[in-house]
Amino acid sequence: MNYMPGTASLIEDINIKHLVLLRDGRTLFANLVLHQTVERIHVGKKYGDIPRGIFVVRGENVVLLGEIDLEKESDTPLQQVSIEEILEEQRAEQQTKLEAEKLKVRVLKDLGLSIPRADTLDEY
């Protein structure tokens, strides 16, 4: 096979199922060309798969790329739920985290301490 000089090549990985973990925390399951992509959302011991179709990901956003062992993939203690249920679980989890963060800020403020808001962290 002819490989392009000076470039990374995954040509031998064609037709192998891969896991791609993005910098923003999302996990994608796809083949090399990222078609038939499925986004897997985990909340607690539940997960839901959302079909995403063709997915273009810039290389700088990829944190992890690994081959999926199809035999072991089904041996998970996690419970698969519907897309609607996992999205609701995710929304509830995010709301709980937000409320906990607000409480933390309020307690710190009551103690005379302050922490920078997440949207201002880039200024420091």
Give the β-pairing of 46-53 and 79-80.
Answer: parallel
- Can you tell me the distance from the alpha carbon of 19 to that of 34, in angstroms, rounded to the nearest whole number? 10
Note if the pTM is more than 0.85. no
Structural domain 11-113, CATH architecture: Roll (2.30)
| Count of Cβ atoms closer than 10 Å to residue 18 Cβ | 17
Q: Cα–Cα distance between 104 and 106 in angstroms, integer? A: 5
Specify the pLDDT at position 68: 79
Cα–Cα distance for residue pair 85/83, rounded to 1 Å = 6
- Mean pLDDT for back-to-back runs of 10 residues, the chain (124 residues): 49 70 74 75 93 79 75 83 96 95 90 69 44
Separation between Cα atoms, residue 66 and residue 30, nearest integer Å: 10
3-state class of 48 per DSSP? strand
Residue 30: its pLDDT value, please? Answer: 54
The set of residues, in sequence order, having a beta carbon less than 8 Å from that of 3 and lying 6+ positions away, is: 9, 11
**What's the pLDDT score for residue 80?**
92
C-alpha count within 13 angstroms, C-beta hemisphere, residue 23? 6
